[in-house]
Structure 1
C-alpha cells in the first residue's frame, strides 16, 4: 500500500486528484489539503510515501515544501506551469503532471512512483543474512543473522556459533565488528 497526500491551493484540483487516487488499487489517501504546513506535519508524523504537490501556493511553494520534507516522501508535481519542470527535475521529483491532468497520464506517473518507491523500500530492507568464506577452501556459507548465538575470537579467525552448528571464518573479531556496523546490526 502506498500512502499519499494531495496538496493544492485549488479545491477543484484536489477533487480531481482524489477521484483519480480512488481509481488506483494500493493507493491510500492519507490527506488532501490546501495547507502546505498541514502536509509537512503529516509527513513528519506518519509514513507517507508519495506527495502530489502543486508548485504555486500562497503559504509555501511546492519547492519550499520539498525542502522542508527533506526526502521523506517521493513527489509528483501537479501544476499549470510547465516552467517548473526543470526545477522539478533538479529536485528529483518522480514526475511532473501538467494541469489539466488526464487519468492516463496520472496512471503513468503513479506507476513510475510505485516503481521508485518499491525500489527504494527494497534498498532499505533490513539485511537478515551475510555470506562468509569458511575455513574450507573456496567454500562460502550463508549465515542468518537472527540465528547467531555468539561469535568467539580464536586468534586470527572467529567461530560463529549458531543453534545447530559452528562456522569458522578467517577474519578478525574487529573485522566482524566493522561488518556488523556497516549492516547496522
Structure 2
C-alpha cells in the first residue's frame, strides 16, 4: 500500500534550519510542502486559511513559542518538534507530538520521524468512522451514537465547525451534526459532485440554484466562494456554461 500523502509546513526562525528541513521534505516522496514560515505567528495566519496535516515546528521562537503554538492548532494537525534543547522533550510529548528531533539531525533521523507521521495518518484514515461506499452513492456518519445512512444525492452542502460538520439535506429542516473535519470528508467525496468553495463549506454541484457574483445560492442559503477556491469553481462554471 502506498504511503498517505501528508501536507506539511515548516516553522523555524533560523534561516539555515528552515532551508535544511525544506531540503529533507523535498527528498521525501509522501510529504507535500505547503509553506515555510519564519515565525509561529506567520504559520498561524496560514493555517487559518489552509488545512495542514503536519508541522515541523521549532520550539524556541520569539513572540510565540512552538509549544504555545502547538496548543492552538486544529485537532487534525499534528506536530514533529525540531529544537536544539533536549529539556523540552517531555513537554513536547505532553502536547502529543508525533516525534521530537534534536538539532542537529541528519536525513535518516528526519525520515524516521516522517515515517512515524505516515504510519499515524494511515491508521487515522483507516479508522474513520464515516465510510463512503465505493459507488459513492451514500455515506454512513455517526451522529448521536447512531450510524446514519445518507444518500449523497440528498446532500445540499456541508458546513465545517471546528471539529464538527453540519450536513444539510433536501427536505430536512435540521442539519445532521457529526464529529469529523471538513478536510477528511472532502477527501472521500466524488469531486464530480462536490466542490469546496470556502474553508467552511463544501457544496453539492448538482444542487446549486443560482450563482451571483461570488455567491452560490442553495435552498435559499447564500454561500460565498472565497478567493482560495475560486479557480476550481470558475472551471466548473466554464465547463457547464452554454
Structure 1-normalised TM-score?
0.69
CA distance in 2, matches of 1:34, 1:179: 45
CA distance in 2, matches of 1:70, 1:48: 9
What is the match of residue 8 of structure 2? 4
Q: Which has the higher contact order (CA 8 A, sep 6+)?
A: 1
What is the match of residue 95 of structure 1? 99
Among 101, 108, 116, the residue aligned to 2:120:
116
The answer as to 2:138 corresponding to 1:146 is yes
CA distance in 2, matches of 1:178, 1:91: 28
CA distance in 2, matches of 1:180, 1:107: 38
- Give me the CA root mean square deviation: 2.7
The answer as to 2:167 corresponding to 1:126 is no
Contact 1:43 1:73 in 2 (8 A): no
Greater alpha carbon shift after TM alignment, 112-121 vs 73-82: 112-121
Shift, 1:146, TM fit? 2.5
Render the CA deviation track for 1:128-150: whole Å, top value 9, x for unaligned: 47xxxxxxxxxxxxxx9829xxx
Shift, 1:5, TM fit? 0.3
Compare the two structures and name the one with the higher helix fraction: 1
Give the 3 Å change call, closer, same or farther, for CA 14–145 of structure 1 in structure 2.
same
What is the match of residue 21 of structure 2? 17
Structure 2-normalised TM-score?
0.54
What is the match of residue 180 of structure 1? 147
What is the match of residue 171 of structure 2? none
Shift, 1:35, TM fit? 1.9
Among 9, 26, 47, the residue aligned to 2:51:
47
Contact 1:6 1:52 in 2 (8 A): yes
CA distance in 2, matches of 1:109, 1:127: 29
Which protein has the larger Cα radius of gyration, Structure 1 or Structure 2? Answer: 1
Give the 3 Å change call, closer, same or farther, for CA 82–46 of structure 1 in structure 2.
same
Render the CA deviation track for 1:82-112: whole Å, top value 9, x for unaligned: 0010011111100000000111000000000
What is the match of residue 60 of structure 1? 64
Render the CA deviation track for 1:119-167: whole Å, top value 9, x for unaligned: 12222362247xxxxxxxxxxxxxx9829xxxxxxxxxxxxxxxxxxxx
